[in-house]
Structure 1
Amino acid sequence: MAKSRLLFVDNLRTLVIVLVILVHLSITYGGEGGWYYSEGPKGTISSILLTWFNATCQSFFMGLLFLLSAYFTADACERKGPGRFAKDRLLRLGIPMLVYDWVLHPLSVCSLMAAGYYGPEASCRAWLGEYFSGFHMGRGPLWFVETLLFFSLIYLLHRRVWPSKTRIATTDRRCPRDREIVVLILLLSIASFIVRFWFPLGWSFEPFNLQLCFFPQYIALFVLGIHAYHRGWLMAIPAKTGRRWLAIAAVLILVGFPLLFLLGGAMRGNLTPFKGGFHWQSLALAMWEHATGIALMITLLVLFRERFNRPNRLTVEASASSYAAYVIHAPVIILGALAVRHVTIYPLLKFVVVSLVLVPLCFLLAAGIRRLPVARRIL
């Protein structure tokens, strides 16, 4: 039987997508990370603070998005049945990915070329010829949509081939206890540490644009999202558990991250040991990531369930437009950043001001696009 939709899950997903846009703007103005465009200086106080923000978000936001997406995936599969579910996934995930790969990604790159970002010799025509002569999938932030499509089809295949193993018991609604959560954190930390021997931070698996260094968390959270739907875990997390993990997250973010980067040599510009390999910094970063990430996920799930589980016009509209905002945000913030690139102010202040304009703009444009007849069924 299908379950009623939880409003706080929609609202939390909207917050995560806002954070995705903010992280990409943070990289634009000096934070560490991979993105199309960056103009902010590195090694400054502004850059350090933005990197701190990015690292905190990276610890949880995409994993949480996979958990929430898996929750909706299980719900959609229950309601629609296998055939209709597969068609819906291909339509809602496949078409936006193709539009991004064929239109929005080239638009983003060519806009930067026209602005001289890649140097005077860069040719948009030459790049387009090379780009469209090869095979590419999941460019830019649409790697998430690509991965979600893969995960959804694997889940559907699993249900078809082993139906008895996908009948998750719904009588046991006991939420995972703290010691089980700690075991999950340790397992994810070890798995990430090992995976990063071969796939370090910053390395992408091409032509699919997948950073496999983060996939232990993504896979685990997708599986947990399926279980959360069937066992009602999102409604079962005690409020005191959320408060306890909030305290843990605060210590890890405010004390753990600065200590890790000071002791690990990051403040001297030595980031290589953190990216992978047999280094204590890589293991410590993996442990910090997963402990902080899981703590923040629990905290936000409880907070939104208790405080943000009621509809209003703004949250309903933002939630309905959040997927479209995710799809279109890259060219919007790139063009917006290019428009004010010659405005010289403190990078952190510029990040705040530009974010206050471009994040709402992404959602306003998304709201207009999803009302178009051709986009209504997809976005």
Structure 2
Amino acid sequence: MGKGTMHYINNIKSFLAILVIIFHTNSAYGGEGGWYYIESSNNFISTSILTLINAIFQSFFMGLFFFIAAYFSPRSYDNKGFYQFLKDRVPKLLIPAMFYFLLLNPLCINLVAKKNYFNSLGFYNMWFIIALLYFTLAYAIIRKVFTLKVRKYEFPSSKNTFIFIIFMGLLNFITRLFFPTNQLYIHDFSLGYFPQYIILFLLGIIAYRNNWLNKIDNKMVTLYYKVSLISILTMPLVFFIVSTYSSNLEGFYGGFTLESLYYSFWEPFTYVGIILKVLYYFQHRLNYNNSFLQLTSRSSYSIYIIQAPIIVSLQLLLKNLDVDILLKVLLVVLITFIVSLFFSIFLLKIPKLNKII
């Protein structure tokens, strides 16, 4: 299956694109994450639910994006070589990122409040694509410069997986002493999360070379998925304890704090089991295709690119709608998905764009 059609991977891409819409909409209505226009709410329970959902999504979905992107890089490079590999990959990453930088980011900002065009330039949501561009360039250059032997690695045991979790927790904590997760740096990178992205990109390459996706053991999936659920359940309790002595979440973002230490380890304890579960479940239950799944998977990249101004426009349109904040989130998510899917269908009919997105 490593070299054949893997419908479940395309279905995971569609799933992740939907999670991006949910994450950004949650952020727009009070969940932690940052957004162009935040509609505040006094409903503590609703905003806490949105924050918890965002924390869970943040723990795994972008890392899984990087893993999947990396998984297909070795095969593509093997078939095309250095120059053709970059010729195919770079425009698909750079052109959408620049389109967002020059047009969609200023549009989103100016929908909320008028701002000088040059001051509204930015990658914002496209940070992922720019990071993936850098990772791709680094991979291609290393392959070009060095003659790398393909080493064989057994699929990690339960013990080695636990060691990996501890290692990632420590790496997160150390990184966030210098780069708190609530601060953006060059290209709107939140560098506090980058240890996960870099490691999962590397693991995607290793997984392809060793056919790991076909070696995922159900017993280990079950074990670490239970660990993920237990980890998730600890967060409301920790939030409650912290709320007794602090009115904000600043300590979780980084620095030498118990909150940062907890969150640094909470992430890998949460995302390892979820990623294993998603990969295993989609492979064994959703490894098929139909017209709708094919359409959504083909549109997932363009949905990722264009969803931001749709969310912001809907926020402004519905801001006077007096309903529970969770219902408003659901409404915006559904409409955004439908509208962005239709826009994507239209864009994919344009021959030159079709080759890029």
TM-score, structure 2 as length reference: 0.95
Tell me which residue corresponds to 2:44. Answer: 44
Supply the distance in 2 between the matched residues of 1:289 and 1:295 (Cα, whole angstroms): 11
Tell me which residue corresponds to 1:128. Answer: 117
Q: Is the 8 A contact 1:22 1:359 kept in 2?
A: no
| Aligned residue type for 2:80 | K
Structure 2 residues not aligned, in runs of 5+: none
Note closer, same or farther for the CA distance 1:67–1:267 as it changes in structure 2 (3 Å cut). Answer: farther
Q: Deviations over 1:32-73 (max 9, x none)?
A: 111111103156110000001000000111111110111122
| Aligned residue type for 1:169 | R
277, 293, 296: which one pairs with 2:274? 296
**Deviation, structure 1 residue 129:** 4.2
| Aligned residue type for 1:149 | L
Tell me which residue corresponds to 1:151. Answer: 135
Structure 1 residues not aligned, in runs of 5+: 114-122
- 1:276 paired with 2:254, answer yes
Note closer, same or farther for the CA distance 1:42–1:302 as it changes in structure 2 (3 Å cut). Answer: farther
Note closer, same or farther for the CA distance 1:278–1:268 as it changes in structure 2 (3 Å cut). Answer: closer
Tell me which residue corresponds to 2:211. Answer: 232
221, 228, 238: which one pairs with 1:242? 221
| Aligned residue type for 2:179 | F
- 1:221 paired with 2:200, answer yes
**Deviation, structure 1 residue 260:** 2.0
Q: Is the 8 A contact 1:261 1:267 kept in 2?
A: no
| Alignment of structure 1 residues 305-324 onto 2, 5 Å | 305-324=283-302
Supply the distance in 2 between the matched residues of 1:27 and 1:209 (Cα, whole angstroms): 16
Task: Tell me the secondary structure at the aligned position of residue 163 of structure 1.
Answer: coil
- Which runs of 4 or more aligned residues in structure 1 lie more than 6 Å from their structure 2 counterparts after TM superposition? none
Q: Indicate the larger mover: 16-25 or 146-155.
A: 16-25
- 1:333 paired with 2:311, answer yes
**Deviation, structure 1 residue 268:** 4.8
Tell me which residue corresponds to 2:77. Answer: 77
| Aligned residue type for 1:226 | I
Task: Tell me the secondary structure at the aligned position of residue 35 of structure 2.
Answer: coil
Tell me which residue corresponds to 2:6. Answer: 6
Task: Tell me the secondary structure at the aligned position of residue 60 of structure 2.
Answer: helix
Tell me which residue corresponds to 1:162. Answer: 146
Task: Tell me the secondary structure at the aligned position of residue 72 of structure 2.
Answer: helix
Supply the distance in 2 between the matched residues of 1:293 and 1:227 (Cα, whole angstroms): 19
Supply the distance in 2 between the matched residues of 1:239 and 1:75 (Cα, whole angstroms): 27
| Aligned residue type for 2:174 | I
| Aligned residue type for 2:125 | P
RMSD between aligned alpha carbons? Answer: 1.8
| Alignment of structure 1 residues 201-212 onto 2, 5 Å | 201-206=181-186, 208-212=187-191
- Number of residue pairs matched? 357
TM-score, structure 1 as length reference: 0.90
Task: Tell me the secondary structure at the aligned position of residue 188 of structure 2.
Answer: coil
- 1:351 paired with 2:329, answer yes
Percentage identity across aligned positions? 33
| Aligned residue type for 2:66 | F
Tell me which residue corresponds to 1:191. Answer: 171
